[in-house]
Amino acid sequence: MKVAIITETFLPSTDGIVTRLCESIKWLRKEGHEVLIIAPDLGVNEFEGAQVEGVSPRSFFLYKDKPFAYPSRKVKVKLDQFAPDIVHVVNPAFLGLSGIYYARKRKDPLIASYHTNVPKYADYYKVPFVKPLLWWYFRMLHNKADLNLCTSKTVKDELNEKKFKNVHLWTRGVAVERFGPEKHSVNMRKYLTNQQQNKRLLLYVGRLAAEKEIEKIRCVLDEHEQYALAIVGDGPHRAALEEHFKGTNTTFTGFMHGEELASVYASSDVFVFPSTTETLGLVILEAMASGLPIVAAKSGPTVEQIKDGETGLLYDPNVENSLVETMIKLEDVKLRTRLAENAYQIGQSYGWAEPSRQLLSIYQKILA
């Protein structure tokens, strides 16, 4: 099968979308399928034997540090040359608009996948009045596809409510062979704790943006001196966060990948996830597979991944001090150990083969 994937983000960018895409493409290539990737041109020309065709990127005023490729006729040229059996447009917004337009014009079978709840971000960027327009725009794009994918049941329900058509759940996965407690490193822990490795190390991994609500973790550091915090990732909100956490034992590492990232997870004590705007939160599953207890803000996607009191603890993001009070529960060593062991067992039960197999079966279903 020849699959054309048109995506708003790809390597060397780092986020859950890129991780899922890379694992899916690896699996498809191993199964003998041809893949063409059309993405913003960030210097990557090939991945796992698949050609990456770049479209010149430009900045976007709300996300100035993240390059986006805008609608381009190059998409038509590359689709005509490749002649795909199916087109998969990932998170259509700018470049994806071209993918949908030319795929429909060519009468290619078309899949679209929804990964980012952009309308929810409008509140954090102080433009809430544009939410109806955003929902209209993304619904218009997705409803031109033969089938739409999303990554959590909560989002699926919301998209159905917003009149998106033919929405299916794309199951989650994690690179279980990469993550695990055995990746613990004394040197990594020293680095992450500013040489105070006896402190309890809280970890956040992800893009540093306003909608992630990372600032909320400071209340734990202010209440309890025994904590250190490592913030792993980068993004437009980094400077503001560095200012916000000034005077605390917080380490900003920038993006980390592969074995280094696995060591970060395994060398920490608690994974903290304050965001309520995610469509899934893939880093939660990575932390679980590493054997970390999770403390997360209660939201639809976190409830789907975390069993409160079994694999992690959920706090109410709308109640003051709920995060601090929830963290206090982890003073109980037995509870912390039990949560970590359960999280590890659940996390390690997921792999990327099943979501990739599911994706191929969906492609085949549309072709049939």
pLDDT tens per residue across span 119-130: 988 888 888 899
Q: 90 — phi, psi (to 5°)?
A: -100, 120
What is the C-alpha to C-alpha distance for residues 343 and 283, in angstroms, rounded to an integer? 13
Which pLDDT does position 61 carry in this prediction?
66
Average pLDDT over every residue of 155-181: 98
Burial class (CB in 10 A: 0-12, 13-18, 19+), 119: buried
d(CA 66, CA 155): 24
Q: What is the mean pLDDT of residues 6-11?
A: 97
Domain with residues 2-173+352-367, CATH architecture: 3-Layer(aba) Sandwich (3.40)
Cα–Cα distance measured from residue 268 to residue 250, given in angstroms and rounded to the nearest whole number: 13
| Tokens matching residue 349 | 């039960």
Buried b (16+ CB within 10 A) or exposed e, 99-115: bbbbbeeeebbbbbbbb
pLDDT of residue 62: 61
pLDDT tens-digit map of 57-82: 998 766 667 789 999 999 999 999 99
Give the Cα separation of 255 and 22 in Å (integer): 17
Q: CA 255, CA 166: separation in Å to the nearest integer? A: 36
Q: What residue segments make up the domains of the chain, in order of their start?
A: 2-173+352-367, 181-347
Please give the pLDDT value at position 47: 98
C-alpha closest to that of 171 among 368, 365, 350: 350
Reduced to 3 states, what is the DSSP secondary structure of residue 202? strand
At residue 63, the pLDDT reads 65
Q: Give the residue-averaged pLDDT of 129-154.
A: 97
Look at 51-65, 169-183, 244-258 and tell me which has the smallest mean pLDDT: 51-65
- On the question of pLDDT at 326 being above 70, the answer is yes
Identical fold between 2-173+352-367 and 181-347: yes
**What's the confidence (pLDDT) of residue 126?**
80
Q: How far is residue 182's CA from residue 194's CA, in Å, rounded to a whole number? A: 22
Per-residue pLDDT, 11: 96
Tokens of 240: 């503001």
Q: Mean per-residue pLDDT for 94-123?
A: 96
Q: What is the pLDDT of residue 127?
A: 86
pLDDT tens column, 189-215? 999 999 999 999 999 999 999 999 999
Average pLDDT, the chain: 96
Q: Which two tokens stand for residue 90?
A: 């990932």
> Is the pLDDT score of 223 beyond 80?
yes
CATH architecture of 181-347: 3-Layer(aba) Sandwich (3.40)
CB–CB of 306/203 below 8 Å?
A: no
Name the more confident of 56 and 66.
56
Burial of 61 (0-12, 13-18, 19+ CB in 10 A): exposed
Which of helix, strand or coil describes residue 165? coil
Q: Is the pLDDT of residue 88 over 90?
A: yes
